[in-house]
Amino acid sequence: MRDNVSACSIAAQGLWFRLMILMHDSERTGYLCLNSLPIPSRIAAIKCAVSVDEYETLLAELMSVAAFSTSKEGIIFSPQLVAEAEERAKNAERQRKFKESKKGNASVTLQVTEKKRNGNAIRADVSSSTSSSSSVGKEEMPPKTETQDDYLIRKQFEFPHLDVQKVFRKYIKDCKNRQIEPKRQFFDTWLENEFEPLTEPTGTTGSDIPTVDEVIKKREKERSGRTFAAEITM
C-alpha cells in the first residue's frame, strides 16, 4: 500500500497523509466517516485544506493505485489502520482478561492463606489447650526436684499404716543385693505390696494408729540422729 502511494504525485501523497490522520481520529478508527456515514467531499476537502475539485482529482489518483478500500456503505477506509485498530482491541481484551485472572488468583490465594491462617490458629489453640491440660496434670504431680525426705514424708501421708522409712531401708537393701538402681516408681509399687506397720508410740494401744503429725515428728527425730546414704533417683 505504501509503495503504491509512493508512485503517486506529491500532492496525492500529501492528501493521503491527511486522510490517514482523519481516519485514525475518526469515530470508527480506520474509516473516513461522519456519524457512521461517508464523509461528504466538501467537508473532507475543507479538513484537508484543498478545494473540492483538487480533493476529488487527487482522491481518484489514490484510488487508481488502490491506496484505500471502500465498504459496502461507500465509506473509504484504510485496511492497514483497521487491522491495527483490531489488533489493539485484541491486545486490550487480552490484558483485561489477564488482569481479571490475576485478581481471581489473588482472591484464591487470599482465601487459601486465610484458611491456612485459621487452621494454624486452630492448631495453636489445640496445642495451647493440650499444653494447658498437660500443665494442670503436671501441677498435680510431685515436682522432679522433690527431695528424698519430702518424698518419704509424702509417702507416709499416702500410706499411714506403714513405716515408710523402714520399708525404704528394706527396699534399698534389696536393690543393693540385686545390683539394680533404686527408682521411685518401683518403690511406689513396693509400698503398695508391702505391710510394715508403724512402731506403736508409747502410751497407745495396739489398735491405735499414729497420726500424720506423729509420724512426721518421729521421722524428724530419726533424721536428726542419722542420715541415709542411699538416694532414690528420679
- Residue 189 pLDDT > 50: yes
Based on the domain organization, do 10 and 42 belong to the same domain? yes
State the CATH number of the domain containing residue 57: 1.10.10.10
Based on the domain organization, do 159 and 103 belong to the same domain? no
Q: Would 231 be classed as within a structural domain?
A: no
Lookup result for grid cell 495453636: 124
Based on the domain organization, do 62 and 95 belong to the same domain? no
Based on the domain organization, do 19 and 42 belong to the same domain? yes
Based on the domain organization, do 107 and 72 belong to the same domain? no
Q: Would 153 be classed as within a structural domain?
A: yes
Based on the domain organization, do 44 and 110 belong to the same domain? no
Q: Would 48 be classed as within a structural domain?
A: yes
Residue 194's pLDDT band (boundaries 50, 70, 90)?
A: confident
Those residues whose C-beta lies under 8 Å from the C-beta of residue 8, and which sit 6 or more positions away, are 16, 61, 62, 65, 67
Question: Percentage of residues in the chain with pLDDT exceeding 70?
Answer: 64
Q: What are the tens digits of pLDDT across the range 126-146?
A: 555 555 554 444 444 445 578
| pTM > 0.85 | no
In this prediction, residue 131 carries a pLDDT of 55
Q: What are the tens digits of pLDDT across the range 102-122?
A: 776 666 566 656 666 766 655
In this prediction, residue 129 carries a pLDDT of 55
Q: Would 30 be classed as within a structural domain?
A: yes
Q: Would 199 be classed as within a structural domain?
A: yes
Based on the domain organization, do 13 and 73 belong to the same domain? yes
Edge-to-edge strand order for the sheet containing 31-34?
37-38, 31-34, 76-77, 69-70
Based on the domain organization, do 64 and 32 belong to the same domain? yes
- The mean pLDDT of 35-54, rounded to a whole number, is 91
How many domains is the chain built from? 3
Based on the domain organization, do 55 and 96 belong to the same domain? no
Q: Would 232 be classed as within a structural domain?
A: no
Q: Would 126 be classed as within a structural domain?
A: yes
- The mean pLDDT of 183-209, rounded to a whole number, is 65
Question: Percentage of residues in the chain with pLDDT exceeding 90?
Answer: 30
In this prediction, residue 224 carries a pLDDT of 62
Q: Identify the domain containing residue 12 by its residue range.
A: 2-77
